[in-house]
């Protein structure tokens, strides 16, 4: 896992994911401000729309990629003993994978 998204690839991936995440964040906040869902049915219906569900799924996936690169950089900057670093990176990776599975269940559960 530590071989992935390193060096220039990681640098580029962090910026590309940032661009998408930034656009989604602005869009999502604007939507909440302009027409907040009045009730549960409206909120669910909103998230069940295929374009919204797909965009949200892509966002959650890219969020985890973005969080992995950023979290890994922080761990590598401050945690130097190799064993501790390995454990921390593994825990971060596992936690993010678990979050990814959870996010998949949430969005797919609403859209189907």
Interacting residues with another protein (CB under 8 A): 15, 18-19, 22, 25-26, 29, 32-33, 36, 39-40, 43-44, 47, 63-64, 67, 70-71, 74, 96, 99, 102-103, 106, 109-110
CB 94 → another protein: shortest distance, Å?
13
Closest residue by Cα to residue 5 from 58, 97, 51, 67:
67
3-state secondary structure of 22: helix
CB 24 → another protein: shortest distance, Å?
11
Measured CA distances, 5 to 59, 65, 74, 76, 89 (Å): 18, 9, 15, 14, 14
In the bound state with another protein, the residue whose beta carbon lies nearer, of 74 and 87, is 74
């Amino acid at each position: 896992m530590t071989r992935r998204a390193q060096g220039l690839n990681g640098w580029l991936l962090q910026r590309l994911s940032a661009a998408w995440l930034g656009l989604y964040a602005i869009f999502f906040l604007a939507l909440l401000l302009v027409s907040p869902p009045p009730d549960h049915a409206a909120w669910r219906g909103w998230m069940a729309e295929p374009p919204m569900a797909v965009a949200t799924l892509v966002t959650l996936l890219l969020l985890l990629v973005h969080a992995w690169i950023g979290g890994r950089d922080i761990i590598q900057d401050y945690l130097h003993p190799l064993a501790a670093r390995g454990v921390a990176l593994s825990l971060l990776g596992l936690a993010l994978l678990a979050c990814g599975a959870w996010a998949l269940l949430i969005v797919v559960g609403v859209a189907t």
